[in-house]
Structure 1
Amino acid sequence: MHTPSLSGPPVEPVAVPAVVTALAGDAALTPVWRNELGGLTFRLDRSDGVTSYVKWVAAGTPEIDLVGEAERLVWAQARVAVPPVLDHGTDLDGAWLLTAAVPGRSAVDAHWAGRATDVAAGIGRGLRLLHDALPVDECPFDWGIERRLRRADERIAAGEGPANWFPEHRHLDPDEARARLDAPPAVDRLVVCHGDACVPNTLLHDDATFAAHVDLGSLGIADRWADLAVATWSLGWDFGPGFDDVLFDAYGIDPDPHRIAYYRLLYDLA
């Protein structure tokens, strides 16, 4: 996600793409999420009790690669809890990804109101499980700095700047912000990162233990701080300040302000 206020359950009627209607068949179809780029997620509830989810994005949305996400899920699902892929494809209107439901609630579900400490701990443990379970030497996917800087350059060239950034970075001019990204910190530990470790992308069981990871379209090899910086940042968006240390403790690491600042800026610009 890029601007947290623009992602969430739809509050207005949603036009259902034709392919989603076809995939649903006789299942009850409920829109459950719209991201800031217009991507939609629907829940499909069949009469036999089986639930699945379909993600759809319009053609010409390069930031969301559902075919790539399907490849990443298939690669990861033998080692970590992620939604199993049932179908995916593209047509002239867009792309779709159909996955089976997995146990757990989104960490931004209303169930967690007043339980930010439990959520932060569950996310921290879930990230540690992900980073420890997925083998870097077998991972074909990259989420490293060089690749992401190319995307930052594309966005700056297209005219994006401080007005598109989070408040923490709006005092920077594009040249200064970009120059800071040319001085990355040394790698702490290479892992297979989630790629968008925001709060909604962790599912938790009702006792707040980790259940599964979702939205893995950017999964790839990077320093673990690329995930940790964004996970703790996202806690502030969804629950307010004061819970970073809970996540770090649950993960098993001390905060690193320099790496946190760098990877938050990289996330914002790229």
Structure 2
Amino acid sequence: MKIKFSQKFECHYGNIDWEPVTIGESGAQVYRNDTFVLKIQRITKRQSLLQEKSRIEWLKGKISVPDIIDYQVDETFEYLLMSRLHGIDAAQTKWKNDPIRLVHQLGSALRQFHDKIDIKNCPFDEGINQKLKECLGREDANDQLIAELLANAPQEEELVFTHGDYCLPNIIIDEEQCCVVGFVDLGRAGMADRYNDIALALRSIQYNLGNDYSHIFLEGYGLFSSWDEKKIDFYQKLDQLL
């Protein structure tokens, strides 16, 4: 399909054929072909595509993320053009037919993600206070849930560099080897408690694969005997506000 762009973007990319991406919960319109992924988002959205652009640029060379090809803006929309990573997202991979292997790999890959990226000099704060600050004052703010989260917020955060939306559609899998080869949709990546990612991963696994695999994911991550159920509940509720 053809897409109507801003005039400047049209000159460079107007003749490319695109297919819409309907899986996932991105606030942007997402399109792709064999080479590129394109996000288009209204400027009035809470989260600018510049947030994703800046995080991907910071992560380049640290982990496997797309290349930023172009970013433009007109009076109404932002446009973010990226390279397409080779592989298929974990929500659509054939390895869903072997969920134990897939889920263990997702847990192991998240642990490597957290352990590999040094947060020294990281400019992206995605901690509890920052997230709640963003929610306060919104016209559609859920004041009751915000009050509950403020009252039950963890006293300590074990900060790592988090993906921010570690859900199956955002994890790219090698179809031959059943291994994670890249990460996408990184607009909320940054320093936060590791349980921010663990909580969203568990929810996504339950949604896509059922309720029988949480312990497999946690074992893959390295949590064999104990984990923090209160933090898991807290971060799943916090995500409802974002």
Query: Would you say same fold, with TM above 0.5?
Result: yes
Instruction: Give yes or no for the alignment of 1:54 onto 2:23.
Output: no
CA 1:237/1:181 → structure 2, altered by over 3 Å: closer, same or farther?
farther
Select the residue among 43, 51, 64 that pairs with 1:81.
64
Measured after TM superposition, the shift of residue 110 of structure 1 is 5.1
Measured after TM superposition, the shift of residue 89 of structure 1 is 2.0
Question: What TM-score results when the alignment is normalised by the length of structure 1?
Answer: 0.80
For the 8 Å contact 1:88–1:98, the answer to whether it is kept is yes
Measured after TM superposition, the shift of residue 151 of structure 1 is 2.7
Q: Identity over the aligned pairs, expressed in percent?
A: 27
Measured after TM superposition, the shift of residue 177 of structure 1 is 5.5
Return 5+ residue gaps in structure 2 as ranges: none
Select the residue among 200, 203, 215 that pairs with 2:185.
215
Instruction: Give yes or no for the alignment of 1:151 onto 2:107.
Output: no
User: d(CA) in 2 for partners of 1:176 and 1:69?
Assistant: 27
Select the residue among 225, 230, 238 that pairs with 1:258.
230
For the 8 Å contact 1:105–1:203, the answer to whether it is kept is yes
The one-letter code sitting in structure 1 at the alignment partner of 2:202 is T
Aligned to 2:147: 178
The one-letter code sitting in structure 2 at the alignment partner of 1:263 is Y
Aligned to 2:81: 98
For the 8 Å contact 1:124–1:250, the answer to whether it is kept is yes
Select the residue among 168, 172, 189 that pairs with 1:203.
172
Measured after TM superposition, the shift of residue 238 of structure 1 is 1.4
Measured after TM superposition, the shift of residue 15 of structure 1 is 8.4
User: d(CA) in 1 for partners of 2:2 and 2:198?
Assistant: 35
For the 8 Å contact 1:181–1:262, the answer to whether it is kept is no
**Structural mapping, 1:1-270, within 5 Å:** 16-19=3-6, 22-33=11-22, 36=25, 38-45=27-34, 51-62=35-46, 64-109=47-92, 111-155=94-138, 158-161=139-142, 174-175=143-144, 178-187=147-156, 189-206=158-175, 207-253=177-223, 254-270=226-242
Return 5+ residue gaps in structure 1 as ranges: 1-13, 46-50, 162-173
CA deviation string 1:127-170 (max 9, x = no partner): 11211121111211010111111233234xx2454xxxxxxxxx
User: d(CA) in 2 for partners of 1:176 and 1:101?
Assistant: 37
> What SS does the corresponding residue of 1:28 show, helix, strand or coil?
coil
Measured after TM superposition, the shift of residue 102 of structure 1 is 1.5
User: d(CA) in 1 for partners of 2:83 and 2:109?
Assistant: 20
Measured after TM superposition, the shift of residue 34 of structure 1 is 6.4
For the 8 Å contact 1:127–1:251, the answer to whether it is kept is yes
Aligned length: 237
CA deviation string 1:64-117 (max 9, x = no partner): 321111110010011101111111121112111111122221011152442322
Question: What TM-score results when the alignment is normalised by the length of structure 2?
Answer: 0.88
User: d(CA) in 2 for partners of 1:160 and 1:180?
Assistant: 13
For the 8 Å contact 1:126–1:202, the answer to whether it is kept is no
State the Cα RMSD in Å. 2.2
User: d(CA) in 2 for partners of 1:114 and 1:215?
Assistant: 25
